[in-house]
Amino acid sequence: MGTKISGFGFYVPENTVTNFDLEKKFDTSNEWIIERTGIQERRFITPNETNTSDLSVNAAKKALEMANIAPENLDLIISATLSADHSIPGMGVIIQDKLGCKDIPAIDIRQQCSGFIYGLDLADLYIKSGRYKKILLIGAEIQSTGLNLTDEGRDLAVLFGDGAGAFILENSKDTSDIIDSILHSDGKYYKELWKESPNSTHKGRVLVEDIQNGNIYPKMNGRTVFKHAVTKMPAVILELLKRNNLTKEDITQIIPHQANFRITQMVAKRLRLPMDKVYSNIHKYGNTTAATIPIAFTEAYNEGKFKKGDLIITVSFGSGFTWGANLIKF
Ligand code: COA
């Protein structure tokens, strides 16, 4: 029995925010953003109108429709996000309720940009163990309401966007499979890309000082993150190929986390692969964190980048640091 991706889809808010729109909010320029990141525009929700579970449900409905599965026939939800609707409870249960599922388990995982990669491995292992047969895996974020959209936060504010993507995973007798996954983490770098507050040592979790000194916004050492991303992603791809006795020529398409176009270019260069083998759609959506992989996977499929039977690698790197890759026979 293999694990088949029987449905996939994504949803992004309608509201498009271009680099020129950001120029009006803080000291940046379209040229700087395009040169350093490749991003042209991203989607931001209209605040107070929608939340991350709504984006998730919209994406999930598309994946369910493609798989031809009713929500009441799912038997597990795995929700990957760093921007859940609330800090208590997790978002999986809200998705379970909004979709009208039975009282199935709903798991939240928080591996940031690597959330979907980790979730895919988890879903695959649950299916192969025989415990669950139909799993909804979602990666979703609302980044826009958590960014510091001023001069002080401009390094991060230009990178991120809102969106959601979903997979339906089922046990399958055909050749489709999540063949293998490799996951890593190295917590000594956790402060290189993190948000200090809310903080478990602070009474009420957030102090007035946290708001005043900007600790409620994410902070990043961009160069360190960049350096590690362009090293770890090619390394884990090679590790996965070696473990499965494959060469890079066997892979039809690599679908990397969409962090930065320069990072994607470096991954291709270090693997000596042409850019048409390493998918990018960051110019349209920015970095939607846990959602980039399912969004990119769906668009790559719609553009004919891979077909039934092809081998694909999904790969990610992010805060933690966490990173990993999945080898998929579609
Ligand atoms: N607009 C204009 N100028 C900006 C800016 C912005 N949005 N953000 C930073 N700058 C300025 C800096 O202040 C700095 O100015 P200075 O030279 O006068 O001090 C200059 O641009 C260069 O900054 P630097 O941080 O050295 O740029 P960089 O070449 O490292 O590019 C990133 C910055 C963030 C694009 C890059 O480090 C990166 O992509 N890192 C990885 C980020 C990432 O992918 N994170 C998520 C991973 S999951």
Residue 261 φ then ψ, to 5°: -60, -35
- Residue 211: is its pLDDT beyond 90? yes
pLDDT tens per residue, range 231-289: 999 999 999 999 999 999 999 999 999 999 999 999 999 999 999 999 999 999 999 99
Q: Please choose from 19, 36, 186, 230 the residue to mutate so as to test ligand 1's pocket, defined by most ligand atoms within 8 A of CB.
A: 36
Let me know: does 260 contact 267? Beta carbons within 8 Å: no
* Percent over 70 (pLDDT), the chain: 100
Q: Which residue has the tokens 């694909």?
A: 312
Q: Which of 328, 48, 25, 36 is nearest to 179 (CA)?
A: 328
- Confidence band, pLDDT 50/70/90 cuts, at residue 49: confident
249's tokens: 């020529």
- Confidence band, pLDDT 50/70/90 cuts, at residue 206: very high
Q: Which atom of ligand 1 is nearest to the CA of 36?
A: 35
| Residue 1: per-residue pLDDT | 84
What structural domains and CATH numbers belong to the chain?
2-176 (3.40.47.10), 179-329 (3.40.47.10)
Average pLDDT, the chain: 97
Pocket of ligand 1 (CB under 6 A): 28, 32, 36-37, 113, 154-155, 158, 220, 222-223, 225-226, 259-260, 263, 287, 318
- Confidence band, pLDDT 50/70/90 cuts, at residue 48: confident
Give the residue-averaged pLDDT of 223-228. Answer: 98
- Give whole-number Cα distances, 11 to 60, 178, 194, 244, 273, in Å: 9, 24, 26, 33, 30
Give the whole-angstrom CA distance, residue 3 versus residue 123: 9
| Residue 192: per-residue pLDDT | 98
The answer to whether the peptide bond before residue 198 is cis (omega within 30 degrees of 0) is yes
| Residue 119: per-residue pLDDT | 98
Q: Which of 148, 156, 163 is nearest to 81 (CA)?
A: 163
Q: Please choose from 42, 112, 155, 230 the residue to mutate so as to test ligand 1's pocket, defined by most ligand atoms within 8 A of CB.
A: 155
pLDDT tens per residue, range 141-157: 999 999 999 999 999 99
The H-assigned helical ranges of 191-260 are 208-212, 222-243
